Amino acid sequence: MHISKEKILLNLKSRIFSRQIHLFEEVSSTQDILRSLIVSGSPEGTIVVSETQTQGRGRLDREWVSPDGGLWFSTVLIPPFGPEAAPQITLLAALSIVQAVSDVASIAASIKWPNDIFINGKKAAGIIGEMSSHQVAIKYITLGIGINVNIPLENLPPCATSLSHETQREIPLEELLSSFLNHLDDNYSAFKVSKDLSPFMDSIRKLLLYKGKTVEISTAHGMVQGTILDIHTDGRLIMKIGDESRMLSSGEISRSDTKEGIEHGGIDR
């Protein structure tokens, strides 16, 4: 399966994400290739896509299985904000994945806070956000996105699913990528004006997995159990723990009643 740049450009309306698109058959990790391109002067919006990765990585340095048939790519944003905007930007990327999956694969996906995409209880996509910052300013954020598109379940880890499995048809990778980039461009442009997630709260709330459910979350300060109430406009998760409400800025959610796959969330620096 070969990803075609012409097919990506066919539906790509975004100007920022059409500046530089680098396609590869195999790389170690699109995150690493992108980082070296940034160092040599590539602009905001540069895209690196690879058909396979030999050292795809997820959060917490976990391995990210990246066989042929998936959409494995990275892009770079230079938001005019401080590091506190980073979790909001990964949530915008999560929203953009859900929108693209709905447009191109006609299937409903949910956001498992802070940056995983689930379909029918299984992980279909993940985002890694890696930030370089200088004092109070973000220098850049590389968003690494993996979407299990046309991959049989036997080639994926047990808690994962793919779009082709869920829809029983092949999904065009190029259309999915350009749809994602068009949505991310719209969402990012609106975010630069609003400076928080307020324009997106209705959509994000509807898509929030486990809202109202009891979960366990492992945080930097230990394990907490509580009920997910909402998301704050700054991207933090609002939980009810005992009689108090608490805001979490990062963590790893697992359902305490089903014990399904534990996933880490947060921004890696």
CA 86 vs. chain centroid, Å, equals 12
Q: Hey, what are 17's tokens?
A: 């994400």
29 binds ligand BTN (CB under 6 A): yes
Stretch (H or E) spanning 206: helix 201-207
129 binds ligand BTN (CB under 6 A): no
Least separation in angstroms between CB 131 and ligand BTN: 14
CB-count exposure of residue 221 (10 Å: 0-12, 13-18, 19+): exposed
Q: Which is nearer to ligand BTN, 118 or 188 (CB)?
A: 118
Round to whole Å and give the CA distance between 74 and 143: 5
Interface with ligand BTN (CB under 6 A), residue total: 21
Round to whole Å and give the CA distance between 78 and 139: 6
53 binds ligand BTN (CB under 6 A): yes
56 binds ligand BTN (CB under 6 A): yes
183 binds ligand BTN (CB under 6 A): no
Q: Which is nearer to ligand BTN, 56 or 69 (CB)?
A: 56
At residue 221, φ and ψ (nearest 5 deg) are -105, 15
Q: Which is nearer to ligand BTN, 94 or 233 (CB)?
A: 94
58 binds ligand BTN (CB under 6 A): yes
Q: Hey, what are 261's tokens?
A: 């796959």
Cis peptide before 114 (omega within 30 of 0): yes
Q: Which of 14, 30, 88, 99 binds ligand BTN (CB under 6 A)?
A: 30
The residues of the shown chain that bind ligand BTN, judged by CB under 6 A, are 29-31, 53, 56-59, 62, 64, 66, 72-74, 116, 126-128, 144-146
